[in-house]
Structure 1
């Protein structure tokens, strides 16, 4: 039986991950799907779980506003930088091995977050947490590709589409519940410490259930490309996150000026490696109009939604005096709306009405944003805020659900892995940008975060969020109308 117990094939060659997966029984494959789905959820929840805990962390660790932004954006920046490299390492070192390596790192860095004794230590731990997640998460989709034949793969991936939409808004809910419970008098720390037992269970299950072996077509890791994109993103994000608190010193301006130059060097580098199969990103992808515009939409949309959730949790607690539990409960309708829209409405409506569905989603989100602003201004109560967030969640799902399939629709299958990794990295970059730009404007306007200042800062920031949604709508008009997705 050629399985995990048999290290070589008939010709003495090591068995690939696909060979091992082919020998898996259906029940084991289903259990393996649960393992990787759990890791997928854990990663996405940790991206936003810290939002609702920021006031508690600030009081406990004396964090300044720049540190608060880093706690949210730093995770996404580190994740975006290493995501594609993590996927390549899975090809060369083995998917199960990299998945487990990433999970060990993610578990340990989560524990470091939970025992942090200073804001600086927590920021560094969050950066490390994002970096280890970038080793773990790419293996999830790679393992799905390996374990499931094409006919069954669509159903498995559909599960992840629903989980992705729900997990993004579950973070604040779970965070609020854990903080309110104040387990063992630890306050905010259990939002990170809970990953310890979850990680141990996940590691044991991964070792027993996931197929070992490497890719049948090993790739190489583009270390110069990784270094260049890391330098570009840090030159951009470091001033945006630190500049306001530091008073915009000369080094911030120098870094901002160098970011475009570093970006050009990165573009030149990937063009030089085009066609070799060794580049971090194949530039031929960007000749695909649907893919390029889809990435632009993803950046703007992710920045908008992440920025909104970031400042909303702050406004609810600083501006309206909500407890972490009340903040969590207000987010529940958002999660419900997103899951319903992604899992039911978007999946059925996209083949029928095409890109009009994304316009509808933008319109619903704009309506929800307007209602949210009126309720914050008039102190309309938590029930009204929940109704507005239900509307926002529905709109988010109508845009976010179809956006991935639309972006990847016309990508050639030979570039599917690279395109998927690039799209996920861009989404993380959008999330980091939202925390940096929207959060930076909010903190500038909110000053000392008094109740009145926090509410006013939220209201002044809303028009910017509305403009960003209008940009999303405009970019949708630039998408090709004859995408393969809409052809029978």
Structure 2
């Protein structure tokens, strides 16, 4: 694992170690807590709104098309800004970009809660997504910067806990807020709850987060605006057909995929030529030549396609098929969140010792847990399905904790700290693409099988697609383990041959 972050304390601002001392800042764990709370807020808003949609429909008389954009608009804006925001943080300073994003997110949350029309709410959600995209890549970059060696694994373990728990606990927390505040206005508190948390985080971020040692004033043209435009258009064309599956019937939407491929190819060509110009590329494509980074990004995309879709299809099954309330459905998913929270910290501590094989174990547990969840639903097909799936979901959650944080640590282990923001942004963009792909694929299979008595069968088919994505990630992880072992064997043979000649 790369140790370059050990020297990251050379910045002069709050939270930085003394220049040249090489001593990690004693406040780094407090700074991490600020980052994790902010990350929890931005990631929670991906899932918490799902259970609030009926309340929003009633409160604002919102059409289905606008409801879809309340969900997908946030995800789209979030995904579009991850890589440019990471590059901006690397160039101008991660603390500054983090604080701007957090302030914008807090204000946008207030605007969402105060919405008086569906158009108002959709626009506020788009702004909220942009703000979340500004904050998220700074967190992984700051972890790279603040923590050396094995401490970095622990920090990423905590971040992995946040990723897993925020995704799983969103329906439960949203259901609780709506239960307490009432269905008519309860949806507003799904957004208002961010205001005090965001305000406190802003105050603490100014005091605790470190400056970026490599940051310097830059002109707008130095931030690769052409690359940002090509990348943004390519990611938009790639994501839209998946997030709008239910609103754009027919096959015409898939014509955007060749356009996305062409735009992303143009982006790759432009970025490869940026090295010979004064402009720094928004994403250094040479990072993908690092096996740990390239395979880690692919594994993250595939895993998030399977991992995120579990919550989507399980919530649909329980609420629509078994007539659970939003709160009951949230409770049913809680074992996954608890398992993920427990195992993520452990995974962060063990990844330095075991490496990618730890991820292999986690992926195997997730695949087994999902398969057993489908089996449990057949054993207990009625209202008790939520109880029957508790143990399998706990197993899958424990496995997930051994995947997300360790994979993030391994993926970024060889990335230079100076480019940690854009590298982390690219990793998270892949995760967002995977989430959209998985929800679209699993949702389409699930809805195609739903009938008067076919909820359990539809759930089976949906989970089968989720398992397929997880197994594809497992194949990638096994390939990485095999390549690493062969490389070590060749190195040892070379060393042994040199000793024999001596």
* TM bin (shorter chain): 0.7 to 0.9
Q: Does 1:471 align with 2:466?
A: no
Q: Compute the displacement of 1:300 (Å).
A: 1.1
Q: Does 1:401 align with 2:431?
A: no
Q: What is the TM-score of this pair, normalised by structure 1?
A: 0.83
Question: Which whole-Å CA distance do the structure 1 matches of 2:141 and 2:248 have between them?
Answer: 42
Give the corresponding residue for 2:93: 94
| Of 386-395 and 360-369, the range deviating more from structure 2 | 360-369
Mapping of residues 255-274 of structure 1, within 5 Å: 255-274=256-275
Give secondary structure in 1 for the equivalent of 2:480. Answer: coil
Give secondary structure in 2 for the equivalent of 1:257. Answer: helix
Give secondary structure in 2 for the equivalent of 1:309. Answer: helix
Q: What is the TM-score of this pair, normalised by structure 2?
A: 0.81
Give the corresponding residue for 1:178: 177
Q: Does 1:434 align with 2:438?
A: yes
1:416-456 Cα shifts (integer Å, max 9, x gaps): 4443332122112222322333334444554xxx8746554
Structure 1 pair 211–399 and aligned structure 2 pair: CA distance change class (3 A): closer
CA RMSD of aligned residues (A): 3.5
Give the corresponding residue for 1:313: 315
Give the corresponding residue for 2:165: 166
Question: Which whole-Å CA distance do the structure 2 matches of 1:174 and 1:410 have between them?
Answer: 37
Is the Cα–Cα contact under 8 Å of residues 270 and 281 in structure 1 kept in the other structure?
Answer: yes
Q: Give ranges in structure 2 of 5+ residues lacking alignment.
A: 1-9, 489-502
Give the corresponding residue for 2:35: 36
1:1-47 Cα shifts (integer Å, max 9, x gaps): xxxxxxxxxxxxxxx95455336996755543332221122112222
| Of 343-352 and 19-28, the range deviating more from structure 2 | 19-28
Question: Which whole-Å CA distance do the structure 1 matches of 2:236 and 2:342 have between them?
Answer: 37
Structure 1 pair 396–120 and aligned structure 2 pair: CA distance change class (3 A): farther
Give secondary structure in 1 for the equivalent of 2:283. Answer: coil
Q: Compute the displacement of 1:413 (Å).
A: 5.9
| Of 83-92 and 210-219, the range deviating more from structure 2 | 210-219
| Of 235-244 and 191-200, the range deviating more from structure 2 | 235-244
Is the Cα–Cα contact under 8 Å of residues 243 and 249 in structure 1 kept in the other structure?
Answer: no
Structure 1 pair 418–26 and aligned structure 2 pair: CA distance change class (3 A): closer
1:295-326 Cα shifts (integer Å, max 9, x gaps): 11111110111111112112211111111221
**Aligned match of 1:335 in 334, 337, 343?**
337
Structure 1 pair 47–406 and aligned structure 2 pair: CA distance change class (3 A): same
Q: Compute the displacement of 1:349 (Å).
A: 6.9
Give the corresponding residue for 2:247: 245
**Aligned match of 1:389 in 393, 405, 416?**
393
| Of 182-191 and 299-308, the range deviating more from structure 2 | 182-191
Question: Which whole-Å CA distance do the structure 2 matches of 1:364 and 1:148 have between them?
Answer: 29
Question: Which whole-Å CA distance do the structure 1 matches of 2:125 and 2:92 have between them?
Answer: 25
